[in-house]
Structure 1
C-alpha cells in the first residue's frame, strides 16, 4: 500500500512516496548528508522536474507549451552565466579541446626542436648548412624552439655581451657575430658599431647565410668575434681558425657556452690559447649554468687541432624507441594533422617516427 511520509530533520523537510519499505532508520544519515552538501543538486532536480512537467503537459494537451516569464528569466540567467564562464576560462568546452590541441602541437614542436638540436651538435657546419638549405622548414622549427627555450632562461648571455660592448665606449667597432640567430646583437648595437651577422640560414635582412668555417670577411678586418651558444658542430677547430683569420691582432674573442658542455674548462682554455689567443676574462652566470670566456688575439694559429678543444654535445634522453601512441583519439588525430601540416614536405624529418613524442607530457 502506497502512502506519503514526511522525514523531518531540524530545518530540513523531505517528501517522498514509498511502499512497504520503512525509511525511518535512514533519516539521521540523510539529514547529515544534506547539512554537509547544502543540497547543491536541488536546482538540477528542479529543472529536470520542470522539463518532465512540460513534456507531460504537451502530451496531454497536444499543444505547444507556452514559455512563462519565469522560464525566460531562467534562460537569460543561464546565458549570462555561460558568457561569464567563457570570459573567465577563455573558452567553452570546444575551447578546452582547442587548448588541448595547442598543448599537443607544442609537445610535437618541442620534440622536433630537441631532435634537430641534437643533430646539429653531432654534424659539421657544412652538413648542417646543406641540411637547412634543402629543408628550410627544419630551421624554422629549430629557431622557434630555441626562442621558446631562451625566453624561459632567467639569464641570457647575449645581453651580457651587449652590455660589455657598450661599456667599451668605443664607436666604430667592427663585430662579427657567428651563429647570430635573429641578429639580436646587430639590432642592439647597429647605431654604434658595424655588426656582421652570420648563421646557417638568414632569418631576416641583417643575417648572412654562411658556413662559419668560411666567413666572407677579409683577413684581420674585425675587432670582436662572438660565439654565443653557437659552437655546435663537430669542427670547432675550424671555427676558431676562421675567427683568428678575420680578427685583428689585439682584437677580442667572446665565447658563451653552457657550463655542462665543458669536459675540462681549464684544458679548453689552454687549447684555445694554442690557436693564437690569450685568456683575458672568465665569467660564470646564472649559478654556474653559463660560462662566458674572453680571449685576445696574440698571433697566428700554432696548433690546428689542439688537445682539449672539446665540447660535449647536448643530447636528450629518449623516452621511447618509437612514437608514443595516444589513448585519446582527439590527441591522436591532432598529432596526425601536425605531421601532415609541418612535416609532409620535409625530407630531413621524414624519420619522425623515431622521435620520442609524448603529447601528454610536452617538454622543451
Structure 2
C-alpha cells in the first residue's frame, strides 16, 4: 500500500464540491488532436482517461470562438459537434474516476487565416505581431500584423468566453479555466509590449479585459466553477513585462473577492519575478502552482517544496504527464518516471507519442483506438 504521508503531493484536497485524491494537477498542453472542424478526435478521450489519476486535469487550450482559434486541428467549444466531442472526453474521464477542467484559450495575435476555419485575420489589443512563425494547415507561415480590437471586438470576445464556458459545462467539464497566460489574448492585454492602447483597456487599465472576461464567465456558470491561469513575466512568443508585480497585484485585488475555484499561477524560469511568493499572500482561495515554465520539467521534489513552503495548494505537471499517464501512481509507489520521447509526435494526429505510453506495470491504461 502506498504511504500517503511520504509526500504532500499525495494528500487529498477539497476543491469546492470536488474531492481530489491528491494535489497533482495535469497542466494544459496543446496536442493538435482535433479534426478539421475542431472536434476532438476519439483518441482524445483515451488520452485524458489514461491520466484520470491526477487530482485535477486541465485540458489543452480550447478556442472559445472562431476568431480565437489559434491553430489548425486545435479543438474548439463553439459548435454542437464540438460540445458532443468533448462530452465523450469528459464521460471517459469521469468513468475512470477523474475530474477535468476546460481551458478556454483565445489566440489573439497568435493565429493566421490559414490556421482558422473561418479564414479570418488575427485580432489583438494592439497591432503588434508575434515574432515567430505560426503553424497553419499548410505548414509554418510568417506572422501577420493583427488588427487592433475595437470596443465591439472586445465586447464580443468577452461574450464568447461566457458562451464557451456554458458549452463547457454542457459538455460535462467540472470547471472552466480562462487562459490568461503564455502569450494568448488575456496575457496580450496584460503585457507591456502587446498592449499599447490609450483607451480604458490600456495603461493602468490593462487588467480590465481579464476582469471583464472572468466576470462574464462567473455570471454564466458561477464563481465556484470558474478559474484563471496567469504567467507573470513569461517571455514566450515575444512577450515582455518589465515589472509584472504591480499589474498582477492589481489584477488579483479585483479577482480575489469573486471567490473563484482556483488561480493557476506559473512561475517562469528566468523572469526574475517570484510570482508564487509575491502573489500567494494576495490570493485567499485555492492556488495551483507551476514551476516548470520555460525551464526544466517539474520534478517530484520541486513540487513537494512548493507545497511545503505554502506557496501553492496543488502543483501542476506538464511534460511528465505526456510519457507517464499514471504519474501519481508512480510517485506513490516509487516507480521510475519515464522521460518524454522525441517531440516528433507532440503535435501530430495519431496515437503515437499520445496514447501509447504504458503504465509503470508495462500495460496500456486504455487501448488506443
TM-score by length of 2: 0.27
Q: More helix per residue: 1 or 2?
A: 1
